[in-house]
Structure formats: C-alpha cells, structure tokens
Amino acid sequence: MPETVELRLGTRSSPLAMAQAVEARARLCAAHNWHESAVELVPVVASGDKVQDRPLAEIGGKALWTKELDAWLAEGRIDAAVHSMKDVETTRPPSLAIAAILPRADVRDVLVGAASIGDLPHGARVGTSAPRRAAQVLHARPDCTIVPFRGNVATRLAKLEAREADATLLAAAGLGRLGESAVGTPLDYDQWLPAPAQGAIGVECNASDERTRALLAAVDDAASHVQVMAERALLAALGGTCHSPIAMVSHLAGDRLTLRAALFSPDGTERVESTAVFAAGDTDAPRTLARDLLAEAGPAITAHFHGPESAT
C-alpha cells in the first residue's frame, strides 16, 4: 500500500528542475526511511521558463524562477520548494527559510564547442545570456562576439547544433544531473570562475513550519550550506543583480573557508579579483571582501554593484 504523503515538494517543470527535485526526494526518503510515494513532486511552469527570447535581466530577474513557488508556499499548496540556488534571489522574504542545501555538485562551467577559451576560433560567436559568462569570455578573448542564448540545456545545445553560435557555456552540475557529463570541457578555476552558489540545490519552506524544517534538516549538507551562504552573503554585500558580472568560488578546509571572487565590467575590459580566508560562518568576512573588491574597482565595474539594498 502507498504510504501517506509526508511532504509536497514544489519544483519548476523543466527537465533539470525535475531532476533536482527527484534527487531531493530520493535523499529525503533515504534519510527518513520513506517509500518514494511519501514525497509528492508538484511541478509548476515558472515565469522564467515561459519567456525564452530575452535575457532574464530584461524581464524581471531571478524572481521569475521563484515567484510561483513562493506563492504556493504562502498558500499552503506545497510544503517546500526545490531550487537551483544560483537562480534564487539574494534577498528572500523573511517568511521563507532555506532549510537544506544538498551536497553540492561540480561547480565549474563547461565550454561546449572548443577545448578551451583560447582554442576558440578568431571572432567566434559565443552563445550566452549570462553577464558573468559574457564578461569572462570578452576579458579573455575580446575578438569574440556574444550571441544571446536562453532556454534549457537541450534548447541551448540544439541552438549550438544549428550553428546559431560557435560555442556556448553550461553548468557542469546541470549536465551531470541530466546524464550529459560527457558534453564539453570543464573550465578550471585558474582561468574561469563559476557563478555564486552554482551546483547547489536548495530546499526552502515557510520559516514558521517547524515540522517541515526538521524533516529537511536531515538532508542538509553542512559544508555545502556554509559555502553557499558565504557566496550569497558576498553577492548581497556587493549589491549584485542579474546585470552584474560577478564570478566566485569557495573551498572549505576544516573550519576555514577560502572565498575567491572577481568582478568585471560588462564588456570584459576591466577585472578585479580578491580572496579572503575566514572562519566558516563568519558573516562579517564577506562584507569586508565586498568592500575590498569595490575599493579596487573602477566606475565601469562599480556602476553595476549598488549595495545590499539593491541585491536581487
């Protein structure tokens, strides 16, 4: 006999989002010794999935990935929502709590269409709608041209196959979760930095829902949680938005976290980088790192970082 539904997990309905929700369900069922039927997946078509012809920053930013699920949580239609953490606004409603971060996957970007950024042909067209990726490409290869690319992984790979661009960039974690790990070449940190919170799946619930928070705590990975929250704290302190070219990576060794970040001008001509090493959970260190980065940056960069009150 099927078990009683213990949790209703909301998720976007895209293939990658569903794969992430399936992973969250599997981890919850393993942690609580539940049958798979105890966790119901409740898909929604997010606003961000409905509009594919314009960059996300032009149509409402990261809120387009979360607003339907936020509403369903408020209405009690779901108990928790599964998110790709790099797509979650930096400032969240106080009524919601990020109760779990699952063990983080490969955080790197993957280049599809060439063995490395240096191997791109002269004048290559690189398909991306991410300001971070565009700025890093143009910083390393100012001869390249950026072609706007949106859509899920399959859509972007199809656009590449149709020669709408010579190369594109995708998240290694997303490719892995879709069984496409063999696609493209992962880019090493020494030449390319990923997005804040890339590779991390988060599960969010109503802050007042103690039962759900306790159930989700069983699948929270402490190391991944520390890294993701530090990266989000730096993004908040910088006031970064969907328009802000920022890249970062963090590493946890024992109780010490190393956070390395770079800011770019959108055209890639200017770049500043800094690194901080601090105790895990130190909330002041990301703010200090943000101040250091912005103090070193010129107007072409700082124009795109407006302080924590503007973070989205």
Q: In whole angstroms, what is the distance from residue 301 CA to residue 307 CA?
A: 13
Confirm if 75 and 44 have CB atoms less than 8 A apart.
no
> Both ends of the chain: CA-CA distance in Å?
45
Instruction: Count CB neighbours of 247 within 10 A.
Output: 24
> What CA–CA distance (Å, rounded) separates 228 from 213?
18
For 110, the 3-state DSSP assignment is: strand
> φ and ψ at 219, to 5 degrees?
-110, 10
Amino acid at 242: C
Cβ partners under 8 Å of residue 96, min gap 6: 70, 73, 204, 205, 206, 207
Dihedral sign for Cα 86, 12, 99, 173, please.
negative
Tokens of 210: 């103690």
Nearest-CA neighbor of 273 among 247, 299, 250? 247
Is beta strand 80-84 parallel, antiparallel or unpaired with respect to 201-206?
antiparallel
Cα–Cα distance for residue pair 250/98, rounded to 1 Å: 19
Run of H or E residues at 169: strand 167-171
d(CA 300, CA 282): 30
Residue 303 is encoded by which pair of tokens? 């124009």
Q: Which residues are catalytic?
A: 87
